[in-house]
Structure 1
Amino acid sequence: MTKKTFSKTLSANDVGATGTHQSGILVPKSEKELLSFLPPLDPGVKNPDAWIECLDEGGTVRRFRFVYYNNKLHDRNGTRNEYRLTYMTSYFREMGAREGETFEISRDETEEVYIIRVVRNLAVSVESEAAQGVRIKIKSAWRCVH
């Protein structure tokens, strides 16, 4: 059995704190190991997607959409060429996820269901920082935890 875990520091956009709309969490094309951990998507198809089942920390099964927005490859005036995990907003709201906390997703290679959780950041209180008018730019890259 091989279990892999990936984590991402959540940005204000990821958790909906900016009031703007984004199409889910970015999965960079450069993150080959993460992309191979998620279901394969055919770039020959316009905007291919796969629904993934995830079990959260409270035991609730969630369905997220893994999508490759690739109209740049298929449409003359297309602009998008990016992978995203979408349909996560309600999960983050229900969990009370905040900027600076960490989202983790893991899976045993023999299982179909992914395990997800929000890891609380005990070192820095985002609310107290915001109350003081301090804004910290947080690197939001994915990383493999193993």
Structure 2
Amino acid sequence: MTTKSFIKTLSANDVGTTGGHMGGILVPKGNGELLTFLPRLDASMLNPSAWIDCKTPENTVLRLRYVYYNNRLHVPKGTRNEYRITHLTNFLRSENAKEGDAFEISKDDGSHTYRIRVLAKSGSLEDDSDAPVRIKLTSGWRRVH
């Protein structure tokens, strides 16, 4: 069984310390591997979304919304054209997530349930030579092999 994992370094906006409205974690549009890891969303629709079940380290299943905000493609003067994972605020707070920590999402091939966790900021995310190979993506995301 193959497991795919992606890690995103959390920004101040992701963890709500900027004081702005948290719209969820940004998912980069330019990375096909990450986009195919998540459910397919139909760009011909306005703001398509899918609910994904995610198991926490405590084995609680959370329902997160994966959404493609795309009013720029459908509405005159629309400005948004971005993918996000939303409904994470309570989870990130319960995990005491801070800027610089990492959010990890993973899934076994054939499974419909994702796993999520927060990894505390440490040098081992980038510097541990025994750690799995990571490929840096855009917007703070990395693929874990």
The reply to whether TM is greater than 0.5 is yes
CA contact (8 A) 1:11 1:140 kept: no
**Cα pair distance change 1:140/1:80, threshold 3 Å:** closer
CA contact (8 A) 2:27 2:139 kept: no
Gaps of 5+ in 2: 124-137
Please list the CA deviations of residues 66-91 of structure 1 after superposition, one character each: whole Å capped at 9, or x if unmatched: 00000011111111111000010010
The Cα of 1:122 is off from its aligned counterpart by 3.8
Q: Which amino acid aligns with 1:143?
A: R
SS in 2 for 1:68: strand
1:18-29 alignment, distance < 5 Å: 18-29=18-29
Partner Cα distance (2:95, 2:144) in 1:
21
CA contact (8 A) 1:10 1:140 kept: no
* Greater displacement, 114-123 / 61-70: 114-123
Residue 33 (structure 2) aligns with: 33
Aligned residues: 131
Residue 65 (structure 1) aligns with: 65
SS in 2 for 1:83: strand
Gaps of 5+ in 1: 124-138
CA RMSD after TM alignment: 1.2
Q: Which amino acid aligns with 2:75?
A: D
Partner Cα distance (2:56, 2:139) in 1:
21
Residue 143 (structure 1) aligns with: 142
Residue 55 (structure 1) aligns with: 55
CA contact (8 A) 2:103 2:118 kept: yes
1:1-146 alignment, distance < 5 Å: 1-123=1-123, 140-146=139-145
Partner Cα distance (1:142, 1:122) in 2:
16
Please list the CA deviations of residues 86-118 of structure 1 after superposition, one character each: whole Å capped at 9, or x if unmatched: 010010001111111111000001111001110
- Percent identical pairs in the alignment equals 56
SS in 1 for 2:67: strand
